[in-house]
Amino acid sequence: MLVLTRLEDQRVVFPEVGISVCIVQARKGKTRIGINAPKGIRVVRDELVPDFKPIEAAKAFTGFIPVDSHQPSPTTLTPNQRLASTPEIEEQVELATGRLQQAQAELEDGNRHDALILIGQALAELDQLRADTQHAKDRRTDEQPQGVAEPAAAYHSRSTSDAAPRRIIVVNRDDAFGVSQPLCQHGFEIENVGDSFHAFIELSRAEKANAIVFHQVAVSPGDLDIIRNCSQQPDIPILIIGTDSDAASDLQQSLDHNTVVINTDHPSSIVWEVESAINRSVPPTVGL
């Protein structure tokens, strides 16, 4: 047995057989793994191996049963199979609820930073649960044989999605100046929020954001502190547009290579600055 130590979103690759294994999530003794493999390779959970029926698995992959087989195959999932993930859902909800209770206690003790971190973690866990449930629902078809044989190619890490949209959080109180429109036209998905706290909440979503744009709103060092020290994406690029000179001076100590103050409202300039900030923030590819 080969034993390796891997962090989340790090992979192990078997190039000769076209299989890669990625740690998607690890917490409290439970690890989620994503497996990319050729479609014909079957993946069966260890506890289900005694019930594994190759004939039914073949139907799952090819759509038909071999001619030499006369074994019946169910075409729908039973209620028990549909609820197979209920214990895991309950565990995740219980974990998130515990974090929120801890956050309340931290707030009562005056520890705002610690409380916000716990709130962000709880929101992230609940939204990931929503995303995973929706993904499982989308994949479910009537032809799945008892949920025993699973196409290995269906498992993948969120970070390696081929068609992940680029998502921008725009913080403004009135989009009459139209900062969202040029970004939309350039292919970005826009989430409009009214203040930094709601931007903090958006950063807990399973669909990761690529940048935050503060447009024509007052931005304080405290606003940046919430995002940099309490959110689920502390290193996200932040662009501040339309801040007056006094406010910009107050922000100087809070600026870093991922935080940019822009003194133009020209649509093409804003798009260029957003693209540049995102490109600067993309980490280099790291091998095994």
pLDDT category, 156, cuts 50, 70, 90? very low
Does residue 271 contact residue 183 with C-beta atoms inside 8 Å? yes
> Any idea of the CA torsion for 64, 66, 69, 74, to the nearest 10 degrees?
-20
Place of tokens 């910009």: 248
Burial class of residue 103, CB neighbours in 10 A (0-12, 13-18, 19+):
buried
Mean pLDDT (the chain) is 74
pTM: 0.58
Task: Determine the Cα–Cα distance for residues 213 and 239; give it in Å rounded to an integer.
Answer: 5
Place of tokens 């390779």: 41
pLDDT category, 274, cuts 50, 70, 90? very high
Task: Determine the Cα–Cα distance for residues 206 and 201; give it in Å rounded to an integer.
Answer: 11
Q: Which percentage of the chain shows pLDDT scores above 90? A: 27
pLDDT category, 171, cuts 50, 70, 90? very high
Tokens in use for 35?
């497996």
Tokens in use for 171?
């913080």
pLDDT value, residue 174: 73
pLDDT tens digits, residue range 46-102? 655 555 555 554 444 444 444 444 444 444 444 444 444 567 778 888 888 999 999
Place of tokens 């698995």: 57
Task: Determine the Cα–Cα distance for residues 274 and 277; give it in Å rounded to an integer.
Answer: 5
Task: Determine the Cα–Cα distance for residues 76 and 4; give it in Å rounded to an integer.
Answer: 39
**Side chain identity at residue 164, one-letter code:** A
Q: What average pLDDT does the segment 239-260 reach? A: 71
pLDDT value, residue 145: 52
Does residue 59 contact residue 145 with C-beta atoms inside 8 Å? yes
pLDDT category, 256, cuts 50, 70, 90? confident
pLDDT value, residue 50: 59
